[in-house]
Amino acid sequence: MKRIGRLSQVLFLAGGLLLAGCPSGSNQMREPAPSGEDREAAGRPVKIDQLLEAPTQLRLGNLTLHLEAYLWRDFQPVSPPSGQPLRVSVKIVARPQPEKPLSSWLKAQRVYLVYGPQHQTWEADLNPSGSAQIPPGVLEAFASGGPLWEPGGKVEVIVRLQDQEGHSYLLRAPQQVIQKTY
């Protein structure tokens, strides 16, 4: 009986340590459905290797897409002393310029950030930009409420895109520097 009690304590402690190291709630990493896979198949845990191996260019039909990203933390006087949480703005750019706006058939759904040699991760749903001035060959989106990673740090930015048929794609912008705004 004493042995089972000690085993329960060890398992409880190990489980607590494991959970402490995992993201919680809606920030748990989820794997996007591979291209052509049924939308229902999404929702498996994401593998960091899959994110880090995402292409920096994506060919869809006659278009080549690439990702531009801007990450920043705000340290204006009205911000807390440790600064505001990380924000990210992403821009998917198509070449050549398409006839139909990207936003009519492609959605930027989720952003995944991988930071530092320990591969710290954060993910969030992307919100479409409300600007009416976006050219047809550009898709813009943003996310906020990220971690308090240090300005100057380098981040792999990966975006999950989904086309009108439900196919998902990953696109990566490597080594993006976290900016500091005042």
For all residues of the chain together, what is the average pLDDT? 81
Going from N- to C-terminal start, the domains of the chain cover 29-181
Cα angle vertex 60, ends 69, 156, to 5°?
Answer: 25
Which residue is it, tokens 């996310």?
143
pLDDT at res. 133? 85
pLDDT at res. 132? 75
Q: What is the pLDDT of residues 85-110, one digit of tens each?
A: 999 999 999 999 998 999 999 999 99
Architecture of the domain made up of 29-181: Sandwich (2.60)
Q: Is pTM, for the whole model, over 0.85?
A: no
- φ, ψ of residue 107 to 5 degrees: the values are -120, 135
Q: What is the pLDDT of residues 2-60, one digit of tens each?
A: 444 443 343 333 343 333 333 333 333 444 444 433 333 355 666 999 999 999 999 99
Q: What percent of the chain has pLDDT over 90?
A: 67
pLDDT at res. 7? 38
